[in-house]
A and B are shown apart, each in its own frame.
Chain A
Amino acid sequence: MAEQHRKMSLDSGWLAARSTEVEFSGTQLTTTHPPPPPPTTSPIPPWMNALVPGTVLGTLVKNKVIPDPFYGLQNESIIDIAVSGREHYTFWFFTTFHCSLLENQYCDLNFRGINYYADVYLNGHEISLDKGMFRRHSLEVTDIIHPDGHNLLAVLVHPPNHPGTIPLEGGQGGDHEIGKDVTTQYVEGWDWMAPIRDRNTGIWDEVSISVTGPVKIIDPHLVSSFSDDYKRAYLHTTIELENRSLSTAECSVSIQVTTEVEDDICLV
């Protein structure tokens, strides 16, 4: 599993609320005027404890607002996005986190998957994330992070643009509208699956903060080649490096490959 330098997952302490029930803007939610609702065990409605990573439906099930769709015919009692409209499943997600930076350190806010697009607000600053379920977003937020380490993050997540409608008789892929977007397609229902009412809208994969020095490693690529009937192997490694500082970075870059021969004993 890839590990980034000083990476912190933001997978707890999230709140969520339906966008139509929140009277504040993203800027207001992430500044101290008015104070945002702090993550608590009993949040004040319309806010509820959120499942991040997860979907809107996952959060609603977690809070028992709707029944678990995978038991009996309970999915029938959950309103479909085609009936409710996209606003019904457009949700705010909110959290706070601590991150203080030293001199010449840089901070990224990373989303590994959002379905379908989002407006991110961090300490009053707005950043729009483009559509697409299967893409990562890495936002440099060095200049936005509060020096005292206390940061407010709100994410307004929008459903796919073409959630489609489900024919009464169900069927393969509903009315196929979901295929117009770059998102998962089973959510309109298939021959083996009932429709997913929110079309899997949400911050569905990992959210993290990573802190690096002036130079950041991006997407290494490891390839092996062989000769002599697999008795000889070569590891080919390519990386991207980004220097974010205002001066040329004189660096040493190293690669080390180890194997664990026994528990806790590595061969270099």
Chain B
Amino acid sequence: EHLQTQSLSIPSKSRVQYTFPELFFSKPNLWWPNGMGKQSLYNVVIVIDVIGFGESDLWSHHFGFRKIETYIDDATGGRLFKVNGERIFIRGGNWILSDGLLRLSKKRYNTDIKFHADMNFNMIRCWGGGLAERPEFYQCCDNYGLLVWQEFWITGDVDGRGVPVSNPKGPQDHDLFLFCARDTVKLLRNHPSLALWVGGNEQIPPDDINAALKIDLRLHPYFEHADENGKPIRELS
């Protein structure tokens, strides 16, 4: 039941989008943050074979079944997180990057992130003035159960504050910012440790960027189906 093959015909010199029929899992091993359970990962392999050629391309990725919810609590005004329906007390660390000269090795990532897990942390916040972290970083967070709060590149350099006053309207090229944001999301979106996208550091991006990010990152309508009582039929990861 976890293997599926479909036939496709793709016109020459064209690019198409294809959605597989959903795969069903009974009692899957869930991915949990550090301290709440195992970080169960499944290996997903996608292969495309072309008649007359053979295997044309192959892609694989580790995937974890988990559902992350976050919202502002009315009573406390604080942000609450739930993972797989369970409330989690967040113990987080702030992260800029692993090395100021960007000598970013898998070994260094593994050491740094294991250290966070050993400190009993369960979240890392990637600050908006630093990097959109790399897949190797996220792979380590997947393995050690560190949730990641990933910010886009908006800081005090782009909000009209400071001395001298910074550029008040964000980066000069808003289309470029959004292009980079979309590409970064595509690069990182399959990692179970990725918990939250945030517009920037301690502030809201310029209106047009913020609106575009909210639209692009909104829930897909497919997952908004509700039963007669208004309850979602399925709960989105």
Contacts and interface: CB of A to CB of B under 8 A. Distances in A.
B229 interface: no
Given A132-B179, A172-B156, A252-B6, A220 B237 contact: no
Interface stretch (B74-82, B114-122, B164-172): B164-172
Question: Interface residue tally of chain B, by bracket?
Answer: 35 or more
Given A172-B162, A205-B134, A255-B4, A243 B46 contact: no
A213 B56 contact: yes
A223 B63 CA distance: 9
A182 B176 contact: yes
Nearest to B31: A224
Contacts of A234: 22-25, 234
Interface in B106-157: 127-132, 134-136, 139, 153, 155-157
A246 B60 contact: no
B46 to A, nearest CB: 5
Given A182-B173, A184-B129, A173 B23 contact: no
B218 interface: no
Given A131-B176, A236-B22, A220 B53 contact: no
A192 to B, nearest CB: 8
B69 to A, nearest CB: 12
Contacts, number: 345
A90 interface: no
Contacts of B103: 51, 54, 58
A222 interface: yes
A224 B65 contact: yes
Contacts of B172: 180-181
B157 A243 contact: no
A238 B220 CA distance: 12
Contact of A222 (B48, B63, B165): B63
B237 A254 contact: no
A172 to B, nearest CB: 6
Contact of B46 (A172, A176, A253): A253
Contact of B44 (A112, A233, A255): A255
Contacts of B189: 221
Interface residues of A, number: 96
A2 B59 contact: yes
A1 B136 contact: yes
Given A205-B134, A226-B234, A251 B48 contact: yes
A134 B132 contact: yes
Interface in B49-97: 49-63, 65-67, 84-85, 96-97
Interface in A235-268: 235-260, 266, 268
A257 B2 contact: yes
B212 interface: no
Given A53-B104, A186-B129, A248-B11, A237 B57 contact: no
A226 B96 CA distance: 34
A70 B152 CA distance: 26
Contact of A55 (B10, B17, B101): B101
A13 interface: no
A251 B10 contact: yes
A17 to B, nearest CB: 18
A179 interface: yes
Nearest to A3: B60
Contacts of B13: 243-246
Interface in A120-177: 130-136, 171-173, 175-176
Contact of B56 (A133, A212, A259, A260): A212
A243 B12 contact: yes
B167 A180 contact: yes
> What 7 A-B pairs come out closest when comparing CB atoms?
A179-B157, A213-B56, A176-B166, A224-B237, A179-B158, A225-B234, A58-B101
17 contacts: A2-B60, A213-B56, A220-B61, A221-B189, A224-B237, A225-B235, A230-B67, A237-B23, A240-B15, A241-B8, A241-B16, A245-B12, A251-B50, A252-B49, A253-B20, A255-B20, A259-B29
Interface of A: 1-5, 51, 53-55, 57-58, 61, 69-70, 104, 112-113, 130-136, 171-173, 175-176, 178-186, 188, 190, 193, 196, 200, 202, 204-205, 212-227, 229-260, 266, 268
